[in-house]
Chain A
Amino acid sequence: MNPSVQVLSIDAVAAGAVLAEALRDFGGAVLLPAGAVLTDASLKALRRRGVTTLGVLGVLGVLASDPADSAAASLAERERQCARLARLFRNSDTSGASGASGASGASGASGILLARLLHYRRQA
């Protein structure tokens, strides 16, 4: 979830987005409190009142809330971490890491360490 505030055109905001700060009319009266979850109905009402932009929280998180998308995102993150480990260990003979146990290979210690770290990153 991206915690930063994003100011977006009301047309770019989808139902499910969270208001970052209270939305007030010109008189200062609160239309919607901070933290309110926007719905299709409330967005329509806000448009009718002439609201054109909204400060919302965690837009990226909301848009990615589809379970298939977040699974893809975490898979991509794990792949990134595995690629990062391979880069960090590029100087070591880590032939031991490719086996399931990670216990074989000429230069065993670095290979086993890499295998354990891969396991650690995958389960995190």
Chain B
Amino acid sequence: MPIATVTPITPITIDDVVRHIRDLPSLPAAVIELLSVMDRDDVDTHALGARIALDQSLTAKTLRLANSSFYGVQSKVTSIAQAVSVLGFRSIRTLVTACAVTNSFPASACASLNFQAFWRHSVATGVCAQLLARRLKVNPDVAFTAGLLHDIGALVLATRFPSQYGQMLAYRAEHDCSIIDAEQAVFGLDHALVGSTLSAWWKFPQPMHSAVASHHLDCGAATPALDLVVHAANTLAHALDLSEVEDDLVPVLSDGVWQTLALSEADCMILFKDAETTFHEMCQVLIT
């Protein structure tokens, strides 16, 4: 990244970032608990249902998901208990986490960031990660959540440093470069580093922390499977044009990741179709 060696235009240090991250509301205890047991199935579903029922917007989203055509239920799902039986505990756990994190960043805090497009891309990456997960024996729910949260550092930059963020977007548009290059040129750090700092502060499980930190890096043989999945999912989400941003740019896909995934032409056709279909379903539930 040659641009990174130039002195940043309005430098932000990691200490600035850490100070601002400390001001962020902490995640609800229930969410931290859910994140930490994401790959376990022996969790009390009744307790989860009771927690969801206390939160109106979460209840509405859960019922909307259960009633979406994706699950093909004939009769209407009207209670959380019913929704748990339709969706399964794992989907609901993913939904709860997604909502809690989404709610930590109000759209009003940064005028220059296109929040709608941001969340569309996040959901798209989550969906792609979930679909790719099984190929690399990664838990699909962990993959979805890691994909959904992979750009979380961008939200910290956009909401805590709004004017500099606007400058960075202007730089990106002027040079038609990647966001990462523009962030390096303007801030001297990028959203992957900021995201990994936040994920440490919020005590994300280690594999998820690593995936957030490394989703733009080139991947080698020693790279953890979840990192590979999120890297590929991020590229695929851009390539399928799911966020519908005119000047979107597909990041370079790591050759190592591609070889590890070993997708045949037929696999790809199914993957592209499934990604598009699932994405539109999830958007109706998560982004409204």
Q: Name B263's closest neighbour in chain A (CB-CB).
A: A116
A116 to B235, CA, bound (A): 14
Interface residue count on the B side (C-beta < 8 Å): 25
A-B contact count (CB 8 A): 59
Q: Which residues of B contact A91 (CB under 8 A)?
A: 177-178, 249-252
Which residues of chain B (233-257) have a CB below 8 Å from chain A? 235-236, 238-241, 248-255, 257
Known: A88-B238, A88-B241, A91-B250. A109 touches B257 (CB 8 A): yes
A22 to chain B, nearest CB (A): 31
Q: Is the Cβ of A117 less than 8 Å from the Cβ of B272?
A: yes
Q: Which residues of A contact B255 (CB under 8 A)?
A: 107-109
Residue B71 at the chain A interface, CB threshold 8 Å: no
Q: Which residues of B contact A109 (CB under 8 A)?
A: 252-255, 257-259
Q: Which residues of B contact A4 (CB under 8 A)?
A: none
A90 to B249, CA, bound (A): 7
Which residues of chain A (85-124) have a CB below 8 Å from chain B? 85, 88-93, 107-110, 112-114, 116-117, 119-120, 123
Q: Which residues of A contact B258 (CB under 8 A)?
A: 108-109, 112-113
Residue B269 at the chain A interface, CB threshold 8 Å: yes
Q: Which residues of B contact A110 (CB under 8 A)?
A: 235, 250, 252-253
Q: Name B273's closest neighbour in chain A (CB-CB).
A: A120
Q: Is the Cβ of B268 less than 8 Å from the Cβ of A92?
A: no
Q: Which residues of A contact B177 (CB under 8 A)?
A: 91
Residue B23 at the chain A interface, CB threshold 8 Å: no
A117 to B235, CA, bound (A): 12
A112 to B248, CA, bound (A): 19
Residue B44 at the chain A interface, CB threshold 8 Å: no
Q: Which residues of A contact B268 (CB under 8 A)?
A: 116, 120
Q: Which residues of A contact B257 (CB under 8 A)?
A: 109
Residue B42 at the chain A interface, CB threshold 8 Å: no
Residue A84 at the chain B interface, CB threshold 8 Å: yes
Residue B265 at the chain A interface, CB threshold 8 Å: yes
Q: Which residues of B contact A120 (CB under 8 A)?
A: 268-269, 272-273
Q: Is the Cβ of B240 less than 8 Å from the Cβ of A117?
A: yes
Interface residue count on the A side (C-beta < 8 Å): 20
A89 to chain B, nearest CB (A): 5
Which residues of chain B (195-214) have a CB below 8 Å from chain A? none
Q: Which residues of A contact B178 (CB under 8 A)?
A: 91
A25 to chain B, nearest CB (A): 41
Q: Is the Cβ of A107 less than 8 Å from the Cβ of B252?
A: yes
* Cross-chain contact of B250 among A92, A112, A119 (Cβ < 8 A): A92
Q: Which residues of A contact B240 (CB under 8 A)?
A: 117
Q: Is the Cβ of B239 less than 8 Å from the Cβ of A117?
A: yes
Q: Is the Cβ of B265 less than 8 Å from the Cβ of A119?
A: yes
Q: Which residues of B contact A117 (CB under 8 A)?
A: 239-240, 272
A90, A109, A120 interface centre (most CB from chain B within 10 Å)? A109
A48 to B162, CA, bound (A): 65
A115 to B248, CA, bound (A): 18
Q: Which residues of B contact A114 (CB under 8 A)?
A: 239
A117 to B272, CA, bound (A): 8
Q: Is the Cβ of A88 less than 8 Å from the Cβ of B252?
A: no
User: Which positions in A face B, CB cutoff 8 Å?
Assistant: 84-85, 88-93, 107-110, 112-114, 116-117, 119-120, 123
Q: What are some 20 contacts across the A-B interface (CB < 8 A)?
A: A84-B241, A88-B238, A88-B248, A88-B249, A89-B250, A91-B178, A91-B252, A92-B252, A93-B252, A107-B255, A108-B255, A108-B258, A109-B252, A109-B253, A110-B235, A110-B250, A113-B236, A114-B239, A120-B272, A123-B269
